Structure 1
Amino acid sequence: MIITIIAGARPNFMKIAPIIEAIQKKQSEGVNIHYQLVHTGQHYDKNLSASFFEDLNIPLPDLNLNVKSGTQAEQTAAIMIGFEKVLADNATDLVMVVGDVTSTMACTIVAKKAGIRVAHIEAGIRSGDLSMPEEINRIVTDSLTDYFFTTTPQASKTLEHLGASTDHIFFVGNVMIDTLRKHEGRFKQHELWQRLQLEPQKYIVMTLHRPSNVDEESQLTALITQLTALAKNYPIIFPVHPRTKKLLEGLSLNFENLHYVAPLGYLEFNYLVKHAFAVLTDSGGITEETTVMHVPCITLRNSTERPETCTLGTNVLVGNNSDKITNAFEKLVSGDWPKGTIPELWDGQAAERIINHLVEIYKL
């Protein structure tokens, strides 16, 4: 059996690492299972892609589509054209896509039109917000997927309600937490730790990249101004996503406690998160990591496709509502933040469950 694994953006790399390791383990046991890794090139900043292969010990991709930047339509089209050629030239039994980025949707469409089965890792999650490109990617991908691997029972129920066969839905846990658990002992300080004289639980980490937060100058200005004011006693470390950097270059948002840094590698970024007083983010994946590491997380979004991080974990949604942001900070500094628990099967074994299911399905 040959599995073609798709990676296109930073979150994908964290998810494919344990899957590749689980495949290699089966190979060592004599199972006839193989993979080829296709990097679409959707993220091309070194710290958003290449460094992740180094940090997570992922073998270099077998093929790279080198798509790079563009509009949603331009990226989708370029990925589809490139991946169609890959499938024409390379035999495969299954295409595996992860998450909800443009590459996930585009490669799913191409695979199904070529008559190849698709397995979706992180299937069934929904935010209910169609203004998010990722939500559209999820809906399209799950409408075509053959095998659904879910992170929570709720995601499995969502798929059942949409008519997916229960025989093809597998609740396996969260592969991103597999990676977190494996590498937690390898997290390392970035040079900025010493340069800024940071101390555990005495600084805040912030990431912003959603269009609702960063695509409009007045909104981004108001948001950063309020956050830096509320966090006045804490340095804010802000690794700047390429999308956000373009807008920031035209603004003069300079505050004494705000420190802009280039995108960080996986090990360095998660060292900062693990030891932070809190995290401010509009990322879905980071809310999962903060939940597992029991770090308070204020999410600058109105909806989430990961509700378990709020109901069970350490995450609170505030959108860009000024009053909600203020209230969240008041709870944070007063010590009244929920401690949180870890969701079921977020135990570091999800990838092994996925590959075990595929071995059984394909009777390897």
Structure 2
Amino acid sequence: MQAESRIEPWAASPVWFRQPGVLHAGTAVLIALSASVELVRMIADGAGPLAFAALLITVAGAALARRRPWPGLVVTVAGGLISALAGWDPIVMWSIAVFVLFSFTLQGMPAVRGTVFVGAGLYLMTTIAQDYDFLSLQSFPAVVSAVAGGAIGNAIRIHQEYWHSLEERAADAVATRDLEATRRVAEERLRIARDLHDVVGHQVAVMSMHLGVAEVNLPPDADSARTALDAARTAVRSVLLETQRILEVLRRGTDDASTADPAPELSRLPELVESYRHIGLQVDATVDEVPATVDPAVSLTAYRIVQEALTNAHRHGDGTATLRLRTEEGRILIEVVNPRRPGAASPSVGSGYGLVGIRERVESAGGRLEVADADGPFRLSVVLAVDGSDLP
């Protein structure tokens, strides 16, 4: 009940609030509107060339920040400082810097460092604009606005990651539940087929044999009885044929007629690795051939573990990762190693839920998880049983 009460308020939020692209687009629109209004005001008030240059630099920094967050943030703040040095009120440049900081933290960039940098820049802007009054009252709201922009962007990003984590876990739970239901149905189908073959089929065959013996031992003048026995044997043969058809249907099942999309599995790992290479992660992958007897739930769990490990490598690493997946003695061994980017937080202590989700998946599959991140590169090792049984 507690988990549901935490999910409901976020689930009730508007869909656009959970989409980073929509929020980035909205921020860009606000920046464009602010710059347009400021440009009109500059023209009306006869601002100098340096003020126009400051506005242009600020807008250019905001545009650059979408692809190059840190350089864009620096250029944006520099535009505001130039505006203050030119003697033009930097209030609009100040606002644009806060918008860019919001987008900066929403992308997952370091919130504290970004906020401190922008806060210091806004403090200098207001100080210069107030004739170098370092105790100016206008400096306080400038710094507070920077803190608010960075905090809001970071908070929304954390909520988005949490929401997507919940969606992924729900999808995994549904897929696992469906696989388990399908497995149980298949087992029950086979049990019924065995019972039909061993009990019904056997008894019908015995009945046909006895009818044949009875027909042979009839007296020569028992034509009506012989006709009745022949009809009975024909009916028994028909029952045997129908039983064989039912057995074939029960054993074959109807799974091959399903049009549902298959759940992710280990056979699709090459596609997964290639998708991370497309986004810039250099993955050195060595993947053994997956046994055909691997349990579907284990295959799904292993796929998700590799997916989350590569996501952590891309988010916290230096752009490289090593993936090793081996199968030996009825076990699947997964190892993902990636050097950490200087200054990046460890995935085990970050604000995300990736490692928590990996641990939960491993425990539900009865496997073992080891994480080494104290010194050197981050290393994640997982062992799963191919048949889904609990490991000692």
Whose radius of gyration is greater, 1 or 2? 2
Q: Give the TM-score taking structure 2 as reference length.
A: 0.28
Q: Give the TM-score taking structure 1 as reference length.
A: 0.30
Choose between structure 1 and 2 for higher RCO, CA contacts under 8 A separated by at least 6 residues: 1
Greater strand share, 1 or 2? 1
